[in-house]
Amino acid sequence: MPEQEFQDPPPWADLPPVGPARPQPAAGARHGGRASAEYPMGSWQTEPSDGPRQEDDGERPPSWAGPDADDEPPSPAPPRAPGGRALRAAARRRRRLLVMLAGLVVAAGAVTAVVLLAAGGPGPASVVPGTLITTFQRGELQQVPDACGSVPSATVQHYLPGKVKVASPLPVDGAAESACNWTVDQAPVYRLLQLNLLAYAPNGLASGNGSATFAAIDAYDSALAGMQDPPAHSAEPRAIVTTLPGLGEQAFSATQVFRRGGAVTDVATVVIRYHNVVVTATVNGLQHSNRGNYGPVSASQLSSAALAFAQSAEAALH
């Protein structure tokens, strides 16, 4: 086929000149590729001219590896950041923990306050109006001195002439109680002097706030009422009672006359209350007996002996 000639269009056509299109060299040609028998068009011709050029980033797997050989395993999904629901749940847990800790602190404070109020620390517990006292207060005694040793020997010899037998009964309330008996049995003198010291403890059944002092007040009032107005059909005769001001916090003396089986016995009693301790001194003297040669007896001497022993015991409490 004859080679065609390309002529430029005439000037009046106002068209661009026409010429044969020159192929753009490949990337390798710009680097100065040179033709060879294998690559007649130069080193920029990297693939056969009869097929499209395919890019390959790596080696191809062999044909026997199967169609899935070049499939890479899917990468694991990244951990999911906590959303709004998880944050709200965590906030609720923190609030519950704070509320529980606050409750424990309040409860511990309440328990500590109760323990300090009950124990009273180094001193007596505070008295709160309207509350029940369960501990010993200032000035109250939890134990009493020995009753026999609380009375001087000179006092014993003065009011109990003759040979005196001393006996100390076993206390019922431990160190809170002490008792002593002095006896003279030599006709015509018979004397039995009994001294008892008892420290009362707080008692929920006592009057007032249930303190130890109120328990002692109740015991003192009961003894006074029994002297002034004995129960009906009682063997106790009505006593002549005299109040003793200035002795302890409360004190009274009483005299009674007992008549049994032809014998007549005069009894003098002095009761003193000092805080929560009640001191009781009782002197028995035979005025007349149906057997033996006892009597007579002076009632005033019996009252003086009871008062002297009670005063000595009360003084030992200070």
The pTM assigned to this predicted structure is: 0.60
> 3-state DSSP call for residue 175?
helix
Taking alpha carbons only, the member of 197, 148, 140, 190 closest to residue 174 is 197
Q: How confident is the model at residue 99, as a pLDDT?
A: 58
Q: How confident is the model at residue 27, as a pLDDT?
A: 45
Contacts 24+ apart (CB under 8 A), 262-266: 262/289, 262/290, 263/288, 263/289, 263/290, 264/288, 264/289, 264/295, 266/297, 266/299, 266/302
- Cα 137 from Cα 215, distance rounded (Å): 13
Q: How confident is the model at residue 257, as a pLDDT?
A: 95
Q: How confident is the model at residue 74, as a pLDDT?
A: 52
- Cα 135 from Cα 132, distance rounded (Å): 9
Residue 109 in tokens: 């404070």
Residue 175 in tokens: 């160190």
List the end-to-end C-alpha distance of the chain, in Å, as a whole number: 153
33 φ/ψ angles, rounded to the nearest 5 degrees:
-65, 150
* Percentages of the chain per state (helix, strand, coil), in multiples of 5: 30, 20, 50
Q: How confident is the model at residue 308, as a pLDDT?
A: 98
Q: How confident is the model at residue 289, as a pLDDT?
A: 85
Nearest 5°: the CA angle 85, 88, 92 is 140
103 Ramachandran zone, left/alpha/beta (phi>0; psi -120 to 50): alpha
Residues 6+ apart with CB under 8 A from 269: 227, 239, 253, 254, 255, 256, 280, 281, 282, 283, 306
Residue 85 in tokens: 């629901």
| Per-domain boundaries in the chain | 148-315
| 3-state DSSP of 46-95 | CCCCCCCCCCCCCCCCCHHHCCCCCCCCCCCCCCCCCCHHHHHHHHHHHH
Low-confidence ranges of the chain (pLDDT < 70): 1-130
Taking alpha carbons only, the member of 149, 203, 196, 201 closest to residue 171 is 196
Residue 140 in tokens: 């109250």
148-315: CATH number: 3.40.1000
Q: How confident is the model at residue 103, as a pLDDT?
A: 59
